[in-house]
Homo-oligomer: A and B are copies of this chain.
Amino acid sequence: MADNRQVLIARLPSGRLQPGDFEIQKAAVPTCREGEVLCRTLALTIGAGQRAGLQGSASYAGAPVAGVVMGGTGVARVEASNSDAFRVGDVVVAPTGWQDYSVHPARAVRRVDAGTDPALHLGVLGTNGLTAYFGLLEVGKPRPGETVVVSAAAGSVGHIVGQIAKRQQCRVVGVAGSVEKCRILVEELGFDSAVNYKDPDFRAAFKAATPGRIDVYFDNTGGDILESALFRMNTHGRIVCCGAVSQYDTANPGPGPRGVPGLLVNNRVRMEGFLVFDYMERYDKARAEMAGWIERGELKPRVTEFDGLEKAPEAFVELLGGVNVGTTIVRVV
């Protein structure tokens, strides 16, 4: 068995994340004790929310430290098992972190179909897809004919939110960070319209793209885009607070958006934060439903792939820089 390559958090980022905030070391492959499984990482996913986990202030994931293996979710093959629940060769989703090998209690890993591309398990059928599904349908509650706007619309969650909203017979507008991303949203993923927030005329373009204002705004960014959306909400509109990527990659998050709480009152807007983990009991049903949509070509998951564990820091930096489309996947094997 080879060495266990591990990507460590070398230092907590003080400003914008850099590849040099990470370093690679080789360690011994760990052994699994009673009730544990040894996992060989096949692929990892990286999400923008993990940047929040590196900020000094604790997020829901707890306070970060340097000198440890960077955390993250992967698809892995079971290489050794001391649990009756798993056999060698099983494919699982596990909190592998950024490394080749990891051991886990059997209850911490979940067996998945070995014949399905790991990128699907980590994307649309993983936390990203479930976040889109429950956030939009359970918190946003869009009705047919309503206008749904999603920010970071070409991102891992956003590109699924928009497609589910189209299935709900909504008018769907995406906000993304490049002309090319906007093109993909409209031409390839069926969005009705897309607006580039880096365009100097963003506010005017955003207004033009939402002539009937906004009924559901699915917010992945916070900051200026959230503020722009607040000023465009319809009476009894809903803002789904999913993430705040605009505030993650910095040591100094900005003030909150103007219009809170005044506009919420005037327009009777509901603004609600959620974490997908609260819907855990309904994951299987949601996954089955989305798998059906994919099979019938009604939902098109997108992926940006990086090849090799050593590319993980670069993949993370590019994700935060707005380069990637869809779910960011690092193929390890």
Contacts and interface: CB of A to CB of B under 8 A. Distances in A.
Nearest to A49: B265
A261 interface: yes
Contact of A226 (B258, B261, B269, B271): B261
Contacts of A226: 260-261
A273 B268 contact: yes
Interface in A225-273: 226-227, 239, 241-244, 247, 253, 255-273
Contacts of A262: 52, 59, 222, 244, 247, 253
Contacts of A265: 60, 241-244, 273-275
Given A258-B255, A262-B247, A270 B270 contact: yes
Interface in A252-300: 253, 255-275, 278
A253 B260 contact: no
Nearest to A278: B268
Contacts of A261: 219, 222, 226, 239, 241, 244, 271, 273
Q: A222, A266, A270, A273: which has the most chain B beta carbons within 10 Å?
A: A273
Given A244-B262, A247-B262, A262-B247, A268 B274 contact: yes
Residue of A256, A261, A264, A265 most packed against chain B (CB within 10 A) = A261
B275 A272 contact: no
Contacts of A241: 261, 264-265
A274 B236 CA distance: 9
Contact of A273 (B60, B222, B266): B266
21 contacts: A59-B262, A222-B261, A226-B260, A226-B261, A241-B264, A241-B265, A242-B265, A243-B265, A247-B262, A255-B255, A255-B258, A260-B260, A260-B271, A265-B275, A266-B273, A267-B273, A268-B273, A268-B278, A270-B272, A271-B271, A271-B272
